[in-house]
Amino acid sequence: MPPICRALLGIGLLICARAQAGAFTAYISNEKSNTISIVDTEKLAVVGTIKVGQRPRGIELTKDGKFILVAVGDDDAVQMIDTTTHEIVANLPSGPDPELFTQDPTGKLLYVANENDNTVTIIDLASRTRIGDVQVGVEPEGMGMSPDGKILVNTSETTNMAHFIDTQTREIVANVLVDARPRFAEFKRDGSELWVSSEIGGTVTVIDPTKHEVKSKIAFEIPGLRKEAIQAVGISITADGRTGFVALGPANRIAVINAETHAVQKYLLVGQRVWHTAFTPDEKYLLTTNGVSNDVSVIDVTSLKVIKTIQVGELPWGVAISRH
């Protein structure tokens, strides 16, 4: 317990609870050093390191917060790591070279994109076994789950499409063409919009998930930067659906977007080659992974300012933040 809480214990637990709200744990996958850096979001410092398999990229926590899931591409597995002991408890049968994955809202099923054989592999997390596959486009990568769990969206990098997959029948129900090399798919929390980033196209396509139609396209223009340097990758949208954050890769910036009008509000300079982002559960901070500068930028979501840079391992790739 932070000292301030102990001092305040007699006065008011409520205030204390608020002060404590910032103490979450962020896990950063470091693609080159084969580790996960553990960051305390109150101290904004690295408090530990976990050694994992080779080439860790996509990272998430199980819905119960008990395990870290990390795709270790060169070991052809998704590793399951106990968040208390930091021990690897299982290597899930993800298929070859897994990169990104998503879970259903209940946390029972894991959907993994397999770039090498153009499939999405479905894994039962309780039994830790593979229970099915869906054939999708060339080089599947981005994975998004609708808040009601009915639709899984997968983006394929060479096919340049977002495939809408019915999670009951496991069949593709619609395909929407987006710009070149789609990397990431994120639903608004109310399920009203799906955002898909295109790395080479340098845009975010906003899709109506019921009509399967493109609603609008967000483009980015930064004075002094060539179009080629602007590459949209990671996306985070606030729970109220009002603000979106898009990582722009080698442009070294995060675009802040009015998620209602889809207009770009401002660009925040972060570290080099920024790829993925995650909010702290209270949405006070947004953490970004900056691959080339080996650090994580911390953005204050209210003031829209970068308040801290934290050195982590080599080539930080993904980030997941636990409530604990």
Partner 1 sequence: MRQFLVGILLFACAAACANAAEVRVVYLHAPESKARLSLIDIPADDDGLAGARLAIEDNNTTGRFLDQQFALEDVRVPPAEKPAVGAFMEGDAPLVVADLPADLLLMAADAGRARNLLLFNIGAIDDRLREEDCRGNVIHVAPTRSMLADGLAQYLVWKQWRRWFLIVGTHAEDRLFGDALRRSAKRFGARIVQEKTFEDTGGARRTDSGIAQIQRQLPVFTQGVPAYDVLVAADESEVFAGYLPYRTWDPRPVAGSAGLVPTSWDPSFDQWGAVQMQSRFMKMFGRRMTARDMQAWSAVRMIGEAAARTRSFDPGTLLKFLTGSDFALAAFKGQRLTLRDWNLQLRQPILLSDGKMVVSVSPQEGFLHQVSELDTLGVDRPETRCRLK
**Residue 158 interacts with partner 1 (CB under 8 A): yes or no:** yes
**Residue 139 interacts with partner 1 (CB under 8 A): yes or no:** yes
**Residue 276 interacts with partner 1 (CB under 8 A): yes or no:** no
Task: From 10-18, 64-72, 223-231, 305-313, give the range in contact with partner 1 by CB under 8 A.
Answer: 223-231
How far is C-alpha 239 from the chain's CA centre?
15
Exposed, middle or buried by CB within 10 Å (0-12, 13-18, 19+), for 158? middle
Q: Which of residues 78-97 bind partner 1 (CB under 8 A)?
A: 97
Q: Supply 96's token pair.
A: 């070859």
The CA distance from 181 to 165, in Å, is: 19
Task: From 16-24, 30-38, 226-234, 294-302, give the range in contact with partner 1 by CB under 8 A.
Answer: 226-234
Residue 235 CB, nearest distance to partner 1 (Å)?
Answer: 18
Q: What is the dihedral of CA 125, 110, 114, 31, to 10 degrees?
A: -80
Starting from the edge strand earliest in sequence, which strands make up the sheet with 67-72, in order?
Answer: 56-61, 67-72, 77-82, 88-92
Count of residues of this chain found to bind partner 1 when the rule CB under 8 A is applied: 30
Q: Which of residues 233-262 bind partner 1 (CB under 8 A)?
A: 250
Q: Which of 8, 90, 222, 229 binds partner 1 (CB under 8 A)?
A: 229
Give me the 162-201 binding string for partner 1, x by CB under 8 A, dash otherwise. Answer: -x--------x--x-x-xxx-----------------xxx
Sign of CA dihedral 45, 49, 54, 58: negative
CB of 312 within 8 A of CB of 39? yes
Q: Which residues bind partner 1 (CB under 8 A)?
A: 97, 115-116, 118, 137-139, 156-161, 163, 172, 175, 177, 179-181, 199-202, 226-229, 231, 250
